[in-house]
Amino acid sequence: MRTALRSCVATVALAGAMLVPAAGAAFAAPAAAGQSASAPAPAPASDNSRYEGEPVYIGEGLVAVLRNRAEGPEAWIREVGPQWKPGDTYMVRVVTKLDRTLPHDRAKGLDLELTKAASARPVLVVTAADGSATSYPLPAGEAGTDCRVGPVGQEMGAGMKAELYLSELGPKVLLFEAGDGGRGFAQLDRTHPSLPESAGIIARIVNPSSARPVFEWKTQGGNDTVGRVAFPAFPKGCRPSYAFTDDKPVTKPTTPSPASTPAPVKPQTAGQTSIVPKGPVAAGAELPAKAAADTVDTATMTAGAALIAAFGALAASVVLRRRHATRD
């Protein structure tokens, strides 16, 4: 009897030991996987050769990094602070970049223009708020074909102004706002032809990849009309670096009626399946929440069944022992 009792007690202890680790392991696996996935990867070695050049201080805490290599003439305008001196680092925040496709911009009250951009010896001209201009020659390079048209100025109202450009890369618009020396507000091009709705105004390039792109804007609410102006034509002998797409008609923006508004998409529940990888889980992977719950339930049920069976065996042994005692 004592042997049977010891066996039952051992079985109960074993079932209890199985119950706790089984559930703990099921929860620990996703946690360990999450820690593995969040471990930062080693950063690649930096290479600044693409941005190195001849730095010159142009005032207002700005440096122009002048380059004229395979990419053509470039003037990278970087913010370095008023205490900058030759020899100090200039690999800091970029304010704007001038090149053959965008030779004109403004920053911190300075008017910046890359002149003679198509020649072998371009020059950066910086004009201060008082009208004084300073020239900074770029290193000599190879002459290129000037297929750029612009800037073509366009008043938009509400203190906004646009400059339109056209080059072999497509149409481009620079938006400026009044004050702060004509600070740049945004830039539109073929890949980003429209301002987001959060901008508070409408400004977009319609048909940006066509032969006849159009700039549209609306800076005031109410019944104010949408302004439109066509971009200049490509210069003779110049071709774009992309294939023209079919033009779409230019239409006024309309508010969709309730009947034409698409119904919200409901999340799909039927027919969806979760695939749980078989075998050891790869490092960095996370089990789906349902799979983890199923794992816990299965382990708990298995250990619970063993515990119930153990208690049943223990009760049976006690009853049997009492019967023998009664007979004796």
pLDDT, residue 43, reads 44
Residue 318 has pLDDT above 80, yes or no: no
Rounded (10°) angle between helices 2-37 and 289-327: 170
CB 107 within 8 A of CB 62: yes
Mean pLDDT of the region 40-51: 64
CA distances 230 to 105, 169, 191, 218, Å, are 21, 17, 18, 15
Highest mean pLDDT (candidates 22-36, 121-135, 293-307): 121-135
pLDDT, residue 248, reads 64
pLDDT band at 152, cuts 50/70/90? Answer: very high
Q: What is the DSSP track for 273-300?
A: --PPPSSSPPTT----HHHHHHHHHHHH
Mean pLDDT of the region 88-110: 92
pLDDT tens column, 234-265:
887 788 888 988 766 555 544 444 444 444 43
DSSP letter for 33, please.
Answer: H
- The tokens describing 280, both together, are 């050891």
pLDDT, residue 175, reads 93
Task: Supply the mean pLDDT for the chain.
Answer: 73
Contacts 24+ apart (CB under 8 A), 263-271: none
- Using DSSP, state whether 268 is helix, strand or coil: coil
pLDDT, residue 308, reads 52
> What's the CA angle centered on 56, arms 167 and 162, to 5 degrees?
35
- The tokens describing 311, both together, are 């208690």
Q: How many CA atoms lie within 13 A of 142 on its CB side?
A: 6
Helices (H), 151-203: none
pLDDT tens column, 162-219:
999 998 889 999 999 876 556 677 999 999 999 998 998 999 999 999 989 999 999 9
CB count, 10 Å around CB of 116? 16
pLDDT, residue 137, reads 97
CB count, 10 Å around CB of 274? 10
pLDDT tens column, 280-297:
333 333 334 444 444 445
- Using DSSP, state whether 36 is helix, strand or coil: helix
Share of the chain above pLDDT 90, in %: 40
